[in-house]
Amino acid sequence: MAQSKKMKAAMEKVDRNNFYSVAEAVKVLKDISKARNFDESLEISMNLNVDPRHADQAVRGMTSLPNGTGATVRVAVFARDDKAEEAKKAGADIVGAEDLADKCKAGEMDFDRVIASPDMMGIVGQLGKILGPKGLMPNPKLGTVTPNVGQAVKDAKGGAIEFRAEKAGIVHAGIGKCSFDEKKLIENVEFFIEAIKKAKPTGAKGSYIKKITLTSSMGPGMKLDLEEVVGKQSAKAA
C-alpha cells in the first residue's frame, strides 16, 4: 500500500530498529499528530508470554487511568428503582431492565459499557450470546456487576478501561489523546503497564512481557525499551 506524504514524513522521524523510552515515544508521537486535523488517540500494544487458551494464563481486568482516556463512553445500566435512580444521577446514558433487554435483542445497542446490579443478572444472563461477542457482558470480576452502580458509572465515565489478552497473548488499549500534556500521557502509559504487570497470571512462565509498542491512531509504531520500562516502578495501579 502506498504511503501518504504525511505518513512518509512521520516515518522519517522514527527508527524502526530503535527502542525508545516512554518519554521519547510520547514526544515523537505527539509531534507527528500535530500535522493531523483531528485529535488522535495514543494506543499501546503489549505482547505477553501467555497462552490465554489456558485458564491459568488468562490476563483480564479493569483499571482506571490517572488522567482518563479522553474518550466519550456511553454507559448502559441494568437496574430498577433506587439503583436505577442512582445510575441516572451518576451520568448513565441508558438505564432500564426488561425494556433495555428488549432493545439489546432488537440490536439497539448504542453504548460502550454495560453495568448491572446483582439482582438484574437473571435478565442480563439471557443476553450472553448478544453481549458476550461484543465484550459487553457484565462481570463481577471487572466491577461491572455491582450493587454500587453509581460508582461503577462514574469510573466508566472517568477513564476506567478493560483489558484482555487476545488469542496471541496481545493486549491492546487506548490510553489517552495526543492533545494531552506529555506528562499526563507518560503517567497513563506507565500506570497501564504496571496494571498489566500486577495482572500476571499464575501460569505465566519466563519473561512475562515480550514487547511493548506505542502508536497514535495514524502514526507509526514505536517499540519501547523493556529494560527501561518494565523495570521502572510507576504509580500503584488499581
Tell me if 185 is assigned to some domain.
Answer: yes
Residue at which a domain ends, from 130, 158, 186: 158
User: Do residue 213 and residue 98 come from a single domain?
Assistant: no
Cα 59 from chain centre: 13
| Band of residue 237 on the pLDDT scale cut at 50, 70, 90 | very low
Tell me if 100 is assigned to some domain.
Answer: yes
Instruction: Kindly give the pairing relationship between strand 60-64 and strand 160-164.
Output: antiparallel
| Spatial contact of 76 and 197, defined as CB atoms under 8 Å apart | no
pLDDT of residue 32: 84
User: Do residue 194 and residue 224 come from a single domain?
Assistant: yes
Closest listed residue to residue 135, CA positions, set 158, 121, 117, 114: 114
Q: Which three cell numbers stand for residue 131?
A: 453481549
Residue at which a domain ends, from 132, 158, 184: 158
pLDDT of residue 35: 61
pLDDT of residue 5: 65
pLDDT of residue 36: 66
* Plot region of 43 (φ>0 → left; ψ -120 to 50 → alpha; else → beta): beta
Query: Which residue carries 470480576 as its cell?
Result: 141
As a whole number of angstroms, the distance between CA 143 and CA 152 comes to 7
User: Do residue 37 and residue 104 come from a single domain?
Assistant: no
User: Do residue 152 and residue 100 come from a single domain?
Assistant: yes
pLDDT of residue 13: 73
The mean of the pLDDT values for the chain is 89
| Opening angle at CA 186, ends 65 and 168, nearest 5 | 70
| Buried-state track 210-225, b at ≥16 Cβ within 10 A, e below 16 | eebbbbbbbbbebbbb
User: Do residue 86 and residue 195 come from a single domain?
Assistant: no
| Band of residue 16 on the pLDDT scale cut at 50, 70, 90 | confident
| Spatial contact of 92 and 152, defined as CB atoms under 8 Å apart | no
Q: Which three cell numbers stand for residue 120?
A: 438484574
DSSP 142: G
Write the pLDDT tens digit of every residue in 147-192.
999 999 999 988 888 899 998 999 999 999 999 999 999 999 999 9
Tell me if 238 is assigned to some domain.
Answer: no
Range with the poorest average pLDDT among 28-42, 129-143, 160-174: 28-42
User: Do residue 56 and residue 93 come from a single domain?
Assistant: no
| Band of residue 6 on the pLDDT scale cut at 50, 70, 90 | low
Where in the sequence is the domain holding 128, given as residue range(s)?
A: 75-158
CATH no. for residue 221? 3.30.190.20
As a whole number of angstroms, the distance between CA 84 and CA 79 comes to 5
User: Do residue 110 and residue 221 come from a single domain?
Assistant: no
37 CB contacts (<8 Å, ≥6 apart)? none
| Count of structural domains, the chain | 2
As a whole number of angstroms, the distance between CA 150 and CA 171 comes to 28
Residue at which a domain ends, from 158, 188, 221: 158
User: Do residue 80 and residue 139 come from a single domain?
Assistant: yes
CATH no. for residue 125? 3.40.50.790
| Spatial contact of 78 and 117, defined as CB atoms under 8 Å apart | yes
User: Do residue 143 and residue 84 come from a single domain?
Assistant: yes
Tell me if 121 is assigned to some domain.
Answer: yes
Calculate what percentage of the chain has a pLDDT beyond 90: 70
Range with the poorest average pLDDT among 15-19, 27-31, 139-143: 15-19
User: Do residue 59 and residue 119 come from a single domain?
Assistant: no
For the cut 60, the answer to whether the pLDDT of residue 63 exceeds it is: yes
The residue type of 129 is: K
Tell me if 122 is assigned to some domain.
Answer: yes
User: Do residue 120 and residue 107 come from a single domain?
Assistant: yes
What value does the mean pLDDT take over residues 23-45?
Answer: 87
For the cut 60, the answer to whether the pLDDT of residue 235 exceeds it is: no
Tell me if 136 is assigned to some domain.
Answer: yes
Tell me if 8 is assigned to some domain.
Answer: no
User: Do residue 82 and residue 135 come from a single domain?
Assistant: yes
pLDDT of residue 238: 43
pLDDT of residue 4: 60
pTM passes above 0.95: no
As a whole number of angstroms, the distance between CA 78 and CA 94 comes to 9
Tell me if 1 is assigned to some domain.
Answer: no
